[in-house]
Each structure stands twice: as C-alpha cells, then as structure tokens.
Amino acid sequence: MLRLAELIGRRLRVTALRADTDNIDGWWNSIAPRVQQEIITGQSALSRLARDYLRAHAMAAEGIALEPVVVDPDLEQIATSLRVTGPVAFKTHMAESGSAEASVRAMATQMQGSGVRLAMAGPRETTMRTFRERRAVEGWRRAGQGKTCAFCLMLIGRGAVYSRESVRFRSHDHCHCIPVLAYRREPEPPSVRRLQEQWNTATAGTSGDGAVAAWRRYVAENDL
C-alpha cells in the first residue's frame, strides 16, 4: 500500500515542479481536477486493499470473520489539503523568499507529502473505522514503515494502549505509520519492548517536554 501512496506523492511532486510560476492560480485551476481525481482513485484503491488485508489478518490471527468498514474519500478534505500545499504554499514561500524557483521546490515537497498522506488516509481510516464499529477488535497499536521520525517512534513505543475511548490515529505529511488492529491482550512484540527500554534510558531523570527533547536527541544520536 505504501508503494502506491509514494508513487502518487512522486507524481504530485513532478506535477508541481512543472508549475507556471507566472500564473500559479491559472495553472492550479487547470490541473486541480486531475490531481484530485488521482488522489480519490488511489485512496479508494488503498481502502479496498486494506479491507482485504483486515479480513485476512482477522482470520489468521483469531479465526474471526471480520467485515471491515470501508471509508469513502472526503472530497472537500482532499481539495482543501491539495490547495493549501499547492498554490497557497507557493505564494507563502514567495512572500518570504522572493524566489520562484525555491518556492516551486518548497511547494513540490509539500504536495508530495500531502499526496502520500491523503492516499494513505484510505487504509488508515478504513482500519480505524473498523476498530470503532467492530466489537471483535479490542485495541490497536501504531506501527512504522521504513524510516520513522522521533515523535512517531515515541508513539509506537506505547504499544497497544489505544482504546475506543482514547486518541484517534493521527499522521503528518511524509509519515509512513499505520494503525494495526489487536484482537486480544497479548505481550508486546520485541520491537516495541526494545523501544520502551530505549525510551526509559533516553528520558531518565526528565519529564514532559524535557523527556520529548531528550528522546529526540537520543534518536538522532543513535540513528534509530
């Protein structure tokens, strides 16, 4: 799923780098419908892949015949996010830098990130809606894919502590994390226990914002 989302993100980056900087609004109005449709198509495809995966995972893990709740794309959210990371981001950077070339690059980076996030919203939201509406699922944990930032590593290290009454899954641009459903209470996997031990080591004698800052330094110094 991530590969398809990253492909969509790269395609958005290429599109952004070809922007008409002399008429950014005209350029955006001409390409926005196509870009939005690409996100909608990709997000829908990934939602269906998530549905199939969740069915297979539930059966393999617990012998449960789970019927996932597939989430449809939020058209307004997609349009708004693309506009903010597209022409709005370009204009903001232009006002600060005065460089059209640098502003196009900044816009391209932001659009690539938002493209991945919007595409991955399909499987992420399908997983979380299934969690909320299917009582066979008891909890969920955050899992990383590839290089993971310090903040997300901190959340992954909490393990399967998330319930229907706790926080919802959140992601940021360029984030590859996904929610993974849990069907019963079980020991945390070795990777999570290792992160918990590293957190305790890195944050010893600290708390609050100080602990988060210490963790960020630890992750950077140890290239986690």
Domain end among 102, 136, 170: 136
Same domain? 150 vs 87: no
Same domain? 187 vs 210: yes
Same domain? 101 vs 30: yes
Give the contacts of 110 (CB within 8 A, at least 6 positions apart): 85, 86, 89, 173
**Distance (Å, rounded) from C-alpha 161 to C-alpha 157?**
10
Same domain? 178 vs 208: yes
pLDDT in tens, 155-212: 999 888 766 766 678 888 888 899 999 887 677 889 999 999 999 999 999 999 999 9
Could you give the number of structural domains in the chain? 2
Same domain? 1 vs 22: yes
pLDDT in tens, 85-113: 999 999 999 999 999 999 999 999 999 99
Same domain? 55 vs 99: yes
Domain end among 111, 136, 161: 136
Give the contacts of 108 (CB within 8 A, at least 6 positions apart): 12, 13, 14, 16, 17
**Distance (Å, rounded) from C-alpha 214 to C-alpha 205?**
10
Same domain? 94 vs 184: no
Same domain? 194 vs 118: no
Domain end among 90, 115, 136: 136
pLDDT in tens, 23-54: 999 999 999 999 999 999 999 999 999 999 99
pLDDT in tens, 142-153: 998 877 899 999
Domain that holds residue 166: 138-224
Same domain? 142 vs 107: no
Give the distance from CA 62 to its chain's centroid: 27
